[in-house]
Chains A and B, each alone.
Chain A
């Protein structure tokens, strides 16, 4: 049962353009959402998060949008850079045990 879904396994974008990565969730108890970035042979690294009391959180080139009614969140990267090429994981949690449920990841390739 996939509670966090990233339906696009891959995305290719030109350098300087916007990258939009999407994530859907099914569990209404989720109230905290995170994006992680992963390079090959490395562990995922925390990128940005958003609480369910907000609908937008921005950090430099990265913005996460949350649409609670649609149970959908997205990560926008503007402008995209070749160094952003990595696998991006969406994750969600709810409750007090800090357990994160991850999506399957989307491979972003930013072409020079």
Chain B
């Protein structure tokens, strides 16, 4: 039973189209994220939601719009796709874990969506 699942796994589309990537987590985590891994292999945060509220919004074109209908889902909608949007998009979730030392947390990532814009 996949903890963080994203669909589709592969997406090939033409420039100018609008597309969505869906993400669902069954871990009961409060926080979800979208990361982008570009051609240079950097993993960069795009958005973060905590209990359906946007808490991180990095410098991302406003063609990208996240939507969180509930805390288990964080979808990414992209309008007017451009060639430069081609990348692997990873969804992730996290939860605070209290420990004796401090709050610990680790992300659980989905397997990624490879978006190719042609």
Q: Which of B50-100 contact A (CB under 8 A)?
A: 55-56, 90, 92, 94, 96
Instruction: Please give me the residue from chain A that is nearest to B9 by CB atom.
Output: A41
Which residue, A41, A43, A54, A97, has most C-beta atoms of chain B within 10 A?
A43
Q: A99 to chain B: which residues have CB within 8 Å? A: 45, 48, 56
Check B111–A41 contact: CB distance below 8 A. Answer: yes
Check B43–A102 contact: CB distance below 8 A. Answer: yes
Q: Which of A76-97 contact B (CB under 8 A)?
A: 89, 91, 97
Q: Which of A47-80 contact B (CB under 8 A)?
A: 49, 51, 53-54
Q: Which of B101, B104, B107, B110 contacts A100 (CB 8 A)?
A: B107
Q: Which size class do B's interface residues fall under?
A: 20 to 34
Check A43–B102 contact: CB distance below 8 A. Answer: no
Chain B contact residues: helix, strand, loop or mixed: strand
Mark each residue of chain A from 97 to 111: 1 if its CB lies under 8 Å from any CB of chain B, else 0. 111111011000000
Check A43–B106 contact: CB distance below 8 A. Answer: no
Which residue, B40, B105, B106, B111, has most C-beta atoms of chain A within 10 A?
B106
Check A45–B111 contact: CB distance below 8 A. Answer: no
Check A46–B108 contact: CB distance below 8 A. Answer: yes
Q: B101 to chain A: which residues have CB within 8 Å? A: 51, 53-54
Chain A residues with a Cβ under 8 A of chain B: 32, 34, 36, 41-46, 49, 51, 53-54, 89, 91, 97-102, 104-105
